[in-house]
Amino acid sequence: MKRREIIKTLSALPVAGGIMSIGPLMASPDQKKPVTDAGLLSNPEEGALALGPQIYQSIGVEPVINCKGTFTAIGGSVELPEVRKAVDFAAQNYVHIDELAMAAGRRLAAITGAEWGMVSSGCAAGMKHVTVACLTDGDPEKLVRVPDLTGFPKTEVIAPRYSRNQYDHAIRNAGVNLITVDTMEELKNAISSRTAMIYLFSAPDGYDNGPMSVDNVAAVAKGKNIPILVDAAAEVLTVPNIHLKRGATIVAYSGGKAIRGPQCAGLLLGKKDLLFSAWQASSPHHGPGRDNKVGKEEHIGMLAAVEAWVKRNHPEEEKTWISWLEYISKKVTTINGVTTKITQPKGVDNRTARLSITWDPAVLNITGEEVAADLADNKPRIVLGGGRTNPGEGTSSISISAHMMQPGDEKIVADRIYKILAQKHDKKNVVIEPPAANLTGNWDVSVDFYSGKGEHKLFLVKQDGNDISGTHKSTFSMLDIAGKIDGKKVRLQSNYRENAESIPYTFDGVMEGDTFSGVLFLGEYRSANFIAKRSESRQRPVNNITVPSYGGKKSDSW
């Protein structure tokens, strides 16, 4: 991350540090109520689980209205009614899981037109199982050795750079060497007897067009008998399957996204022999997939979701989404200066209608980021695709995705947004206090993670007024760091990237003498506490550098 980008993101900090207080877990004996409903309390003591519409609130968790999309962090999707009914019946009997997997595989093939189908415990788990299948060829003696690939003839997976993403960690979990290539020529040269598989992520543009499209990659792989795994996690299911038609060997979907099956299920479609080996690498069998258990409920629930998918009236669903957005748009555009735009559903990845709401923050005195934070933090809570401010255009906006909204949500969302934008907001005068200290120098940083400690270092080489820049030595890397000091308040940010994954480090602390301390925000990895102290070892002065003379010429000193 460039320093300019670091400074721009400093205002987008979490509202809280991610450390929530925990109230009393046990009530006094006289608060206990009669037990009903299979052991759960219908009128529970404080903090006990209660069946009913307020089941999350009963244990202190406030649900959110999903205007963002099929994100695992907020629960993916809401299961279809027929899926919930199927899961309930499936939970009431015992079956042999291998027999169930074979029956589900046959039925999934019949519905989708694929050669075979398999249910996994999520898309990422399915990707790992397929990778293991490509490494082992169904040999159980190889299977039980994964991820130790010593002696394996195939140990490498190739991926175009456009396909590298956070989720390919599932592939690396199998112990492979993941080779990144930028051109078709590099891909051809990377292929060898050690190549187990080619991995393609279907979302980026490079998958559908350009020299490294799936069609071009498949033309090369087919002649060398190398399987292609396509990650289509957030896509709608296509029948017949567009990826298999274009040359993919296996395509992997998330069960709990667009298909609206169980959140902890995935769907694999493709070649029967390879999916048999993938199932061999999955629970209930021992080996590298035993930790990705998929139960009878997920099998039946996923199958029910696919059965429902091919019968659902998708055009009518999309019309309903647009009608919800039109309702919200009509409400909020009664506010002077507020404009909206509805984008029709398109493509197959994260296919949804979207509403953009835009205004001038200098007129309404509130930014998109502030609106999004208000919606997320206050009841009824609403999660959006994020708020944005574009200083160059003098606009702020929020974005709403419709496909995971539920009937009636549109009225709640419209009222909440209208209330926030219509109310009077005082004009903000941002005053930055003069810096209380000069932070240039070396700092030893002690980090208290949840279950251990870390030692980082900061080398702050420049302070220009309130602006600070330098280098952050994290656990493994040297990172650019930049930020500000506002009076005694210090805020610095760096960004660690590795294998398409990233960790934003945001130090938010207060100066006291030769120490500043506070909370280290870690993005999706929550937070830690830190204390930064000036290093006792002073920076060594730089001596004059003398360049030796050559050919009798006089040396120069700097």
Give the pLDDT confidence of 389-447 residue by residue, as tens digits: 988 889 999 999 999 999 999 999 999 999 999 999 998 888 899 999 999 999 999 99
Dihedral pair phi/psi, residue 356, rounded to 5°? -105, 130
Mean pLDDT of 71-88: 95
What pLDDT score was predicted for residue 554? 42
Q: Tokens for 158?
A: 């190739």
Rounded percentage of the chain residues whose pLDDT exceeds 70:
88
What pLDDT score was predicted for residue 444? 97
Q: How many Å is the Cα radius of gyration of the chain?
A: 28
- How far is residue 314 from each of residues 304, 384, 471, measured CA to CA in Å? 17, 23, 52
Residue of 35, 250, 28 lying closest to 131 (CA atoms)? 250
Q: Domain 441-534 is in which class?
A: mainly beta
**CA–CA dist 199, 214 (Å, integer):** 10
Q: Which of 366-375, 506-515, 534-543 has the lowest mean pLDDT?
A: 534-543
- Mean pLDDT value across the chain: 89
**CA–CA dist 12, 34 (Å, integer):** 47
Q: Which residues contact 70 (CB under 8 A, 6 or more apart)?
A: 76, 77, 234, 254, 256, 257, 258, 350, 403, 404
Q: Domain 81-309 is in which class?
A: alpha beta
Q: What region does 63 belong to: left with phi over 0, alpha with psi -120 to 50, or beta?
A: beta
* pLDDT top residue among 321 and 558: 321
**CA–CA dist 173, 124 (Å, integer):** 10
What pLDDT score was predicted for residue 44? 62
Q: Tokens for 246?
A: 């274009």
pLDDT exceeds cutoff 90 at 322: yes
What sign results for the dihedral spanned by CA atoms 177, 183, 187, 190? Answer: negative
Could you report the per-residue pLDDT of 19-41, keeping only the tens digit for each?
Answer: 222 222 223 333 333 334 444 55
Q: 373 falls in which pLDDT band (50, 70, 90)?
A: very high
Written as one string, the DSSP assignment of 481-505 is: EEEEEETTEEEEEEEEEETTEEEEE
For residue 263, count other CB atoms closer than 10 A to its CB.
Answer: 19
pLDDT exceeds cutoff 50 at 3: no
What pLDDT score was predicted for residue 43? 62
Q: Tokens for 441?
A: 């120098």
Could you report the per-residue pLDDT of 233-274, keeping only the tens digit for each?
Answer: 999 999 999 999 999 999 999 999 999 999 999 999 999 999
Mean pLDDT of 517-536: 95
Query: E strand or H helix at 456, and its extent?
Result: strand 453-464
Rounded percentage of the chain residues whose pLDDT exceeds 90:
82
**CA–CA dist 371, 541 (Å, integer):** 50
Helix and strand numbers (H, E) in the chain are 16, 21
- Answer whether 50's CB lies under 8 Å from 36's CB: no
Mean pLDDT of 299-319: 97
Helix or strand or coil: residue 307? helix
What pLDDT score was predicted for residue 430? 80
Q: 545 falls in which pLDDT band (50, 70, 90)?
A: very low
Q: Tokens for 130?
A: 């397929």
Mean pLDDT of 181-200: 97
Mean pLDDT of 280-288: 95
pLDDT exceeds cutoff 70 at 179: yes
What pLDDT score was predicted for residue 27? 31
pLDDT exceeds cutoff 60 at 15: no
> Greatest CA span in the chain, whole angstroms?
100
What pLDDT score was predicted for residue 210? 83
Residue of 348, 250, 253 lying closest to 302 (CA atoms)? 253
What pLDDT score was predicted for residue 12? 42
C-alpha distance across the termini of the chain, in Å: 33
Q: Domain 314-422 is in which class?
A: alpha beta
For residue 3, count other CB atoms closer than 10 A to its CB.
Answer: 16
What pLDDT score was predicted for residue 550? 43
- How far is residue 145 from each of residues 110, 223, 287, measured CA to CA in Å? 34, 29, 8
What pLDDT score was predicted for residue 339? 97
What pLDDT score was predicted for residue 76? 93
Helix or strand or coil: residue 318? helix
How many CA atoms lie within 13 Å of 418's alpha carbon, on the beta-carbon side?
A: 15
Domain ranges of the chain: 81-309, 314-422, 441-534
Written as one string, the DSSP assignment of 157-178 is: EEEEGGG--GGGHHHHTTT-EE
**Single-letter amino acid, residue 252:** A
Q: Which residues contact 60 (CB under 8 A, 6 or more apart)?
A: 23, 47
